[in-house]
Amino acid sequence: MKCMYVDGEWYESEDKETFQTKNPANQEVIEEVPRGKQKDIEYAVMTSRRTFESEEWQDFPPEGRGRILNDIASKLRRDAEEIATLETLDTGKPISQGRSDVEAAARYFEYYAGMADKIFGETIPVQSDILDYTVREPVGVTAHIIPWNYPIQITSRSTAAAIATGNTVVVKPAEDTPLTALKLAELFNETTLPKGVFNVVTGYGQEAGAALINHPEVNHITFTGSLQTGRVVMETAARNIIPVTLELGGKSPNIVFNDGDLDEAAEWVVKSVIQNAGQTCSAGSRLLVQEDIQELFIEKVKNRMLSVNMGRGIDDPDLGPVLSQKQFERIETFMDIARKENATFLTGGERVHVEGCEDGFFMPPTIIEGLDPQSEVAQEEIFGPVLSVFPFKDEEEAIQLANNTPYGLVTGLWTENIGRAHRVAKKIRAGQVFINNYGAGGGIQMPFGGYKKSGFGREKGLEALRNYTTLKNVALKM
């Protein structure tokens, strides 16, 4: 059985209860994990608070934080295959994607290691006998609620930035995928990081997660997950008057114009919607294609989707299983809505059984045509390998369709007309716009976050450092 990690020690939950984490490909139990609850969160948060206020951490040099984060990056690469395997068994994703996630995690620690001693303030001219300056100070105890789809990446991107800026951390990984957060704790345990800076409590969202976001000693909450849960997180943070960073998903379009590189675009349209079985907040789940190339382009996408192979993540297929029965039933609900609305399924739409994975939940790559753009299927995040197709006549209609959802996380544009690319990018209401690519290889340095109901605040890049610092102004009369 795995143990939680608090104050530099491994321990079971207060009441000794556990839960199981399972392999999505066959529902086999991988590990027993402690079921943390309010008392365990209390211990972790108060440990984190005590550590933050300690002289040891307050006097810990920024370059020392940077060296430790660099050390974590090296250890992630050292144990990359083990961690990728854990990630794949826990999430179901293909092992090649697991390996990419581990490398991305290492890059986050490497990137923020370089920033630990570069958190600058500035001087402000006020009057001749006043020296006025600002300093950026750590916010304090930071809570990190981690989703189940990219656990090692998302744990790393927020905790690396938080520690780089001098905060202490309490991580609550998703109950479905807790193993790599605990492995990360093992790596921290090998370093000289003061005990109590990095803490992990496993448990269910309604128990451990709720206790963490409600704790009065938490100074900032970072949450990635569903819109519904994000709303609860925000309401709770409002009661405690603390800042939050929310990344709540998307309904992201690829917009393909008739002058785009259609082969390249088709390749990326498919990749963007099948990665991690479509369980990706930035998945390109809508295809907007110019009318005069609609038939040609959809045939290219369809052919690529029909060639996708499915299987256990550890065997490195193109497409692994959906995480759980609960998640699969959510996808099926949307498929039923599309059928009732007389939409056309060009591929997929029904569960398939994969040899050797009879208990796994596999949804093949699915293309749906003929939906009303206002349909629930066209508007809501499905979190599966499902692509909805909509034709457009011109730039104006493409922009209208692209912006016509409650979300605004990512958009892909495919055109060789540089003027068009910039015109459209300017009018798109999304946090990231990719032109003739989609994702830019993970983009560790690129601010990531959304407009509208995709949330607010930015992770990744230098912008993320603002989440974990607070600005103080000092005015000295000379």
pLDDT digits (tens, 9 = 90+) for 411-432: 999 999 999 999 999 999 999 9
Residue 101 above 70 pLDDT? yes
| DSSP-based three-state secondary structure for 142 | strand
Which strands form 386-392's sheet, in the order they lie side by side?
344-347, 366-369, 386-392, 286-290, 253-256, 410-414, 432-435
Percentage of the chain lying above the pLDDT 90 cut: 98
Between CA 459 and CA 185, with CA 471 as vertex, the angle to 5 degrees is 45
Residue 28 above 80 pLDDT? yes
Residue 442 above 80 pLDDT? no
Residue 37 above 80 pLDDT? yes
DSSP class per residue in 65-122: HHHHHHHHHHHHHHTHHHHHHHHHHHH---HHHHHHHHHHHHHHHHHHHTTTT-----
pLDDT reported for residue 153 = 97
pLDDT reported for residue 441 = 65
| DSSP-based three-state secondary structure for 425 | helix
Q: What is the mean pLDDT of residues 380-390?
A: 97
Q: What is the mean pLDDT of residues 371-398?
A: 97
Model confidence at 443, pLDDT cuts 50, 70, 90, reads confident
pLDDT reported for residue 74 = 98
pLDDT reported for residue 358 = 87
d(C-alpha 34, C-alpha 255), whole Å = 45
Percentage of the chain lying above the pLDDT 70 cut: 100
Model confidence at 116, pLDDT cuts 50, 70, 90, reads very high
d(C-alpha 268, C-alpha 437), whole Å = 7
Provide the pairing of β-strand 220-224 with 141-145. Answer: parallel
Just list the catalytic residues.
247
Q: Residue 407: which H helix or E strand, with range?
A: strand 407-408
Between CA 220 and CA 85, with CA 114 as vertex, the angle to 5 degrees is 75
Residue 253 above 70 pLDDT? yes
- The tokens for 191 are 């370093």
Token look-up 């088709």 returns: 266
Q: Is the pTM here over 0.85, yes or no?
A: yes
pLDDT tens string 273-332:
999 999 999 999 999 999 999 999 999 999 999 999 999 999 999 999 999 999 999 999
pLDDT reported for residue 297 = 98
- The tokens for 350 are 């029904």
* All structural domains of the chain: 4-248+456-477 (3.40.605.10), 253-443 (3.40.309.10)
DSSP class per residue in 183-226: HHHHHHHTS-PPTTSEEE----IIIIIHHHHH-TT--EEEEES-
**Whether the Cβ atoms of residue 419 and residue 259 lie closer than 8 Å to each other:** no
d(C-alpha 213, C-alpha 238), whole Å = 11
Q: What is the mean pLDDT of residues 21-50?
A: 97
pLDDT tens string 177-229:
999 999 999 999 999 999 999 999 999 999 999 999 999 999 999 999 999 99
